């Protein structure tokens, strides 16, 4: 509550929303959690897929399966993420995503918060695993394809782009004016170019340290801007591969409660080692490693957000700070002040954790969406 762990306390829930929070022992006729911690539901703003399914290609059945299984990882809301691909394919997938989102909205499964479009307006110098043949500069006519089609625009919540590209600042202004958030990512921008992007309305940085200009002592780069500019929310993949443990802890100390934990997970998340798809890319997951494309480049992750929380707490970071980065910070980054907190008026998306930070039970809108067999 208010970014702190408190207790004991009583949380009132009616019609899917939190009605009040009272510190002290609850009434004897209420549901009592005998141990562990109750937190807001986790929110993942960068999820390419999971449980064998990639969102770009997923039909409604596959999409629902992912959303139904995410509460087992504590995730109660997410942004399905599309990486760079053929623009016709992406816009068709966005239309389909809007239809699926509307169809599943009333079910007690993880909330679809709208698509995070990661590309195609990315830097060729920082392409990562994105197919370079589909990269584009954000020319007005291409931005029009995202904003002037009602179905496409309705699907979008967040767009990652490289702010140093020609036309990018005007694209940021247009996208933000349409009610869509912008994140800087896959970018070789300087700190000055990042500041200009924030001036234009960008508010996030996609997967800090990865596929971006690093921190320099004379040129702060993307990383320096993300750590120092209070207007920016850096996304952190805390799988301890994309960013090693000591650096993850450093980010939490420096950027504090501006840091949003993300998974950047792809279809391999929750699955055994094997071959999977990430957009148009074939990806292989080997035991003990991260997913990689055929040339060995890291291609998303197999991380789940509850594991990211355990990783950071296991490194000695304060649990309240870690949990805030997985709940309130990503909610606020999307402008969703009804999510990610235990407070009157907030949606009753809640997670009961064991004393060793495993998921025991998850509620979405006050309805049980997952319960461990050991509860």
Nearest to 205 by CA among 177, 186, 190, 218: 186
Provide the H-helix boundaries in the chain: 60-69, 87-104, 140-147, 150-155, 168-177, 191-200, 221-228, 245-255, 305-314, 319-326, 328-333
Q: Taking 60 as the threshold, does the pLDDT of residue 86 lie above it?
A: yes
Catalytic residue flag (residue 264): yes
pLDDT value of position 256: 87
Q: Is 118 annotated in some ligand binding site?
A: yes
Q: Picking from 30-39, 40-49, 65-74, 123-132, which range would have the lowest pLDDT averaged per residue? A: 30-39
129 is in an annotated binding site: yes
Choose between 25 and 268: higher pLDDT: 268
Distance separating alpha carbons of residues 17 and 13, to the nearest angstrom: 5
Residues contacting 209, CB < 8 A, separation 6+: 223, 242, 243, 247
Taking each continuous run of H as one helix and of E as one strand, the counts in the chain are 11, 19
Task: Average the pLDDT over 262-282 and give the result.
Answer: 91
Matching CATH number, 41-336, of 3.90.1150.10, 3.20.20.140, 3.30.360.10, 3.40.50.300? 3.20.20.140
Q: What angle is formed at CA 101 by the lines to CA 180 and CA 115, rounded to 5 degrees? A: 35
298 is in an annotated binding site: yes
Tell me what percent of the chain is helix, strand and coil, each rounded to the nearest 5.
30, 25, 45
What pLDDT is recorded for position 237?
98
Span 309-325, average pLDDT: 97
Is 287 marked within a binding site? no
Enumerate the domain spans of the chain.
41-336
Residue with tokens 């993880």: 110
Find the catalytic residue in 44, 239, 264, 349.
264
CB neighbours of residue 340 within 10 Å = 28
The pLDDT assigned to 12 comes to: 86
pTM: 0.95
Report pLDDT for 74.
98
């Amino acid at each position: 509550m208010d970014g702190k762990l408190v207790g004991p306390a009583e949380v009132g829930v009616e019609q899917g929303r939190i009605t009040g929070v009272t510190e002290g022992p609850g009434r004897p006729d209420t549901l009592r959690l005998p141990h562990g911690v109750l937190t807001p539901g986790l929110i993942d703003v960068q999820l390419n897929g999971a449980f064998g399914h990639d969102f770009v290609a997923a039909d409604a059945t596959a999409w629902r399966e992912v959303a139904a299984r995410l509460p087992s990882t504590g995730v109660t809301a997410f942004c399905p993420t599309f990486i760079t691909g053929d623009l016709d394919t992406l816009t068709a997938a966005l239309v389909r995503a809007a239809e699926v989102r509307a169809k599943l909205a009333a079910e007690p499964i993880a909330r679809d918060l709208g698509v995070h479009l990661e590309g195609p307006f990315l830097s060729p110098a920082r392409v990562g695993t994105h197919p370079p043949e589909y990269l584009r500069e954000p020319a007005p006519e291409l931005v029009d394809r995202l904003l002037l089609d009602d179905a496409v625009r309705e699907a979008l919540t967040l767009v990652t782009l490289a702010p140093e590209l020609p036309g990018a600042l005007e694209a940021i202004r247009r996208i933000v004016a349409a009610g869509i958030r912008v994140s800087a990512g896959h970018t070789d921008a300087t700190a000055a170019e990042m500041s200009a992007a924030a001036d234009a309305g960008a508010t996030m940085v996609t997967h800090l340290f990865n596929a971006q200009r690093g921190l320099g002592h004379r040129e702060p780069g993307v990383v320096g801007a993300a750590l120092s500019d209070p207007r920016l929310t850096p996304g952190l993949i805390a799988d301890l591969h994309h960013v090693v443990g000591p650096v993850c802890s450093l980010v939490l100390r420096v950027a504090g409660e501006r840091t949003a934990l993300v998974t950047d997970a792809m279809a391999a998340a929750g699955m055994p080692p094997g071959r999977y798809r990430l957009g148009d890319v074939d990806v292989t997951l080997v035991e003990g490693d991260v997913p990689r494309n055929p040339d060995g480049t890291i291609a998303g992750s197999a991380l789940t957000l509850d594991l990211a929380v355990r990783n950071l707490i296991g490194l000695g970071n304060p649990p309240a700070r870690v949990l805030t980065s997985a709940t309130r910070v990503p909610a606020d980054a999307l402008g969703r002040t009804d999510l990610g907190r235990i407070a009157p008026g907030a949606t009753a998306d809640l997670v009961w954790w064991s004393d060793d930070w495993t998921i025991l039970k998850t509620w979405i809108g006050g309805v049980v969406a997952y319960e461990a067999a050991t509860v």
